[in-house]
Amino acid sequence: MPEDHFGERVAERYDERYRHMADPAVVDSLVGFLVDLAREGAALELGIG
């Protein structure tokens, strides 16, 4: 069986630890940065999860 690096121990703390990353100010800033990079060009989205 494969080793699970993201088991219950990590899941219990995930929301608390990374809550700030969903803050609208953080998201808006990041989206604005990506829009500027892709201006008048293509963008490739890579996502995990």
Q: Is 8 exposed, middle or buried (0-12, 13-18, 19+ CB in 10 A)?
A: exposed
Residue 38: its pLDDT value, please? 92
Residue 49: its pLDDT value, please? 62
Q: For residue 6, what is the DSSP state?
A: T
CA distance 32 to 9: 34
Note down pLDDT in tens along the chain; length 49 residues: 677 777 888 888 988 999 998 999 999 999 999 999 999 898 888 877 6
